[in-house]
Chains A and B, each alone.
Chain A
Amino acid sequence: MLITSGDQEFNQLMATYLLEQGHQVIVCFQNKEASDSYFSSIRSDLQVTYYSIVISDSNKDWIECVQNEIENTMQGLDVLIHGNEMMDEDLLFEQNMLEFGEYMSLQFKRIYLFSKMAAQFMMRPKSGKIIFPLIYDSLYYAGYSSSPVLNQGKISMMKCLSRELAAFKINVNAMTFGYYDKDFDPSEKKETKKTVEIFSLKPMLIELKEMIPALEMLINPPVQNIGGENFHIGAGIETNL
């Protein structure tokens, strides 16, 4: 399994969960310190099946490095998880409107290269899963950071990829995680619960890591032909165009 954007804690939580389930996991980082810090945080018995790679935009052949690492360590790829960038696009836009567009273009170039590489690995054995974990965009109004450009671009791309890769028995899906407890203190939690009642009465604010096992629906689906879907985790949430 390969998880991208390993610098983000959310993606590290997914990696830990998958390691605990007995999977071999490669995590791609952009920052060596983040990579080292994550490695030292995981249990020693999980370190045996864990691999990491630090990629740099200055290395134009970085995708080949990832490809080599997969071939050398796992001899194939079963699951690609496009790690969530946890980006606050509203803030980024405000800080640097001129460069925001180019920055988004760079993000999608990476997503394209990872998807292409994964497809090439998965097409021959006719098996594989590509997963886009997303954070529910409408939480913007409840004070969460949101990524509408990344979210919507990924959903559209996921649907395109699913339509062509289903022919190779590769499932491409998204999973949108809804309202969660982001280390709120009791009063913040109470206030946030009131705000997200727009989605469901008496909403449960659990931590993101408690929602991660939902990924099993996509990694080990009950039937094999599930593709082009955006599964929502959290009562009452639904991505709107």
Chain B
Amino acid sequence: MLLKNKVAIVTGVTGGLGKAICYRLAEEGACVVGIYASNDQAAQSIESDFKEKGYKGMVFKGSITDRKFISGMMKTVSERCGKIDILVNNAGINDDQFIAQMTNEQWNHVYDTNFLGTYICSTEVLPYMEGQNGGNIVNMVSVTGVLGREAQSNYGASKGSIMGMTRLLARRYAQKGLKINTIAPGMINTTMVNDYVPKNKLENFLRFTSEERLGEPEEVADAVLFLSSDLCGYVSDTVLKVDGGFLR
């Protein structure tokens, strides 16, 4: 097992990617702490399934942009589990609009949830990881952050900022044993893609993807596992694209 006795926090745990990441880390022996914003039913389902499977874990409900909540949650996890080894900043939203019609609310909501939420979770976990001279932070971005996409300037700017934050923190904390990296998923079989990307757009995306198919959440979770484990010993401040060869 790659993560035996490790403690991992995963945000956005009730979404398609978050859930897959949660299970993948638990399968490898980690105690997984899931954070979710609103979907109680999905969170309870994960919790009871974890118990059935004998996985270790717990869930917390709250907003990643609420520093007080995140700080309290980290303290509780540290007290109950004795440490925090892994943080996966997976939670994120989109609300697409062309720049000329974008409202301030659309800009603020998307930028702040994605960037500020990731920033708050990261800065709250840093003292624990610094204190134990090690830890892995995995930030989820998107191919939009890497390549850009129309009507997603709010989303793209937030994801680009997360890549920049990854660089800022990786430089500062690499000497303290922290591995801070980013994953940029392409078109993944989740509600974010299936419900919001028009069918004709999606077909064209797949035309420009070597794999000619959507990725599965479990395939992204495998990449998260790599960057969460000791296998990534010499990997720092990288953006790992998990996109089936999109636009390459």
Q: Which residues does A use to contact B, with CB under 8 Å?
A: 89-90, 93, 97-98, 100-102, 104-105, 108-109, 111-113, 115-116, 119-120, 123, 137, 140, 147-165, 228, 241
CB contacts under 8 Å to A, within B132-182, are 144-161, 163-165, 167-168, 171-172
Pick the contact of B148: A90, A93, A163 (CB < 8 A): A163
Contact in complex: B119, A156 (CB < 8 Å): no
Chain B's closest residue to A163 (CB) is B150
Q: Which residues of A contact B165 (CB under 8 A)?
A: 148-149
B100 pairs with A149, CB closer than 8 A = no
* Selected contact of B164 from candidates A123, A152, A163, A165, CB within 8 Å: A152
Q: How far is the CA of A154 from the CA of B149 in the complex (A)?
A: 14
Minimum CB–CB distance for A132 against chain B, Å: 11
30 contacts between A and B (CB under 8 A): A100-B119, A101-B119, A104-B115, A105-B116, A108-B161, A109-B104, A109-B107, A109-B108, A115-B153, A116-B100, A119-B100, A120-B100, A147-B164, A148-B164, A148-B168, A149-B161, A153-B115, A153-B157, A156-B144, A156-B163, A157-B153, A159-B148, A160-B149, A160-B150, A160-B155, A163-B148, A164-B99, A164-B150, A164-B153, A241-B239
The distance from the CB of B138 to the nearest CB of chain A, in whole angstroms, is: 15
Interface pair A241/B163, CB less than 8 Å apart: yes
Which of the residues A113, A157, A162 comes within 8 Å of B157, measured between beta carbons? A157
Are B107 and A112 in contact, with the CB atoms below 8 A? yes
Q: Complex: how many Å from CA A57 to CA B107? A: 17
A152 touches B153 (CB 8 A): no
Minimum Cβ distance to chain B for residue A135 (Å): 13
The 9 closest A-B pairs by CB, nearest first: A159-B148, A156-B160, A152-B164, A153-B161, A149-B164, A164-B150, A101-B119, A160-B156, A157-B157
* Most-contacted residue by chain B among A102, A109, A152, A165 (CB, 10 A): A152
- Known pairs A93-B172, A100-B123, A152-B164 / 5 extra A-B pairs, C-beta < 8 Å: A105-B111, A112-B157, A116-B102, A160-B153, A228-B148
Chain B: minimal CB distance from A70 (Å)? 16
Q: Would you call B120 an interface residue if the criterion is a C-beta within 8 Å of the partner chain's C-beta atoms?
A: yes
Min Cβ gap A172→B in Å is: 9
| B112 beta carbon closer than 8 Å to chain A | yes
Q: How far is the CA of A159 from the CA of B100 in the complex (A)?
A: 16
Complex formed: what's the CA distance from A113 to B112 in Å? 15
Which residues of the other chain, A, contact B100 by a CB distance below 8 angstroms? 116, 119-120, 123
Provide the bound-state CA to CA distance between A100 and B172, in Å. 15
Contact of A93 among B107, B108, B161, B168 (CB under 8 A): B168
Q: Report the count of interface residues on B (CB-CB < 8 A).
A: 41
| Alpha-carbon distance A156/B157, docked complex (angstroms) | 6
- Complex: how many Å from CA A175 to CA B147? 17
B160 closest partner in A (C-beta): A156
Q: Which residues of A contact B208 (CB under 8 A)?
A: none
**Interface core residue of B99, B104, B111 (most chain A CB under 10 Å):** B99
Residues in B neighbouring A140, C-beta threshold 8 A = 171
| Residues in B whose Cβ lies below 8 Å from that of A148 | 164-165, 167-168
Question: Hey, which chain B residues are within 8 Å of A241, CB to CB?
Answer: 146, 163, 239
CB distance from A160 to the nearest CB of B (A): 4
A160 touches B167 (CB 8 A): no
Interface centre among B156, B164, B165, by most A CB within 10 Å? B164
Q: Tell whether B98 is near chain A: CB-to-CB under 8 Å.
A: yes
- What are the residues of chain A within 8 A of B160 when measuring CB–CB? 152-157
Closest Cβ of chain B to A214, distance in Å, is 22
Q: A165 with B168: in contact, given A152-B160, A159-B147 (CB under 8 Å)? A: no
Are B148 and A158 in contact, with the CB atoms below 8 A?
yes
Residue of A nearest to B101 (CB): A116
**Could you tell me the distance between the alpha carbons of A99 and B22 in the complex, rounded to whole angstroms?**
30
Which residues of chain A come closer than 8 Å to B99, judged between CB atoms? Answer: 112, 115-116, 119, 161, 164-165
Contact among A101, A113, A151, A164 for B98, CB-based, below 8 A: A164
